[in-house]
Amino acid sequence: MYRRRNIMEDANKTYLQTCHYHEVKDPFCPVFRIETIVNLAGENFTQLAVRGGIIVISIDWNCNLDWAFLEFCKPVYSFRRADDPNTNIAPGWNFRLVLLRSLKYIFRWLTKKTFLIRLRSIKICQLS
């Protein structure tokens, strides 16, 4: 039976508490910083934090079952932006929230625009 996680067999609790994903230095660390994800998607973190947006994290498992499974079947991460930041209407990912506030029995509706960064994960598995 073949089983695989994105945490490698030699990882321990101390490693997982201290590591951060880096495409060259530590490509198998499953702990990501949002700024790193945004930068690897080719976006500017400050602009995305202000306007909001959707980033897709793809985890590609390209495994050949004829080879040593645990040695060669490892995840490869890639990142891309899914929304269109150049659209004319409501660029980024944002919502309008309506809140009812009361102050000494006077009720007022408050409208607030909120910007978010949404992360979506896609797993791609190819076995041969």
3-state secondary structure of 33: coil
- Domain 13-127: which CATH class? mainly beta
For residue 122, which of 76, 66, 39, 59 has the smallest C-alpha distance? 59
Instruction: Give dist(CA 31, CA 52) in Å, integer.
Output: 22
List pLDDT tens digits, range 23-81.
899 888 889 999 999 999 999 999 888 888 889 999 888 877 777 766 777 888 999 99
The highest-confidence range among 6-10, 16-20, 65-69, 97-101, by mean pLDDT, is 16-20
- In the chain, where are the structural domains located? 13-127
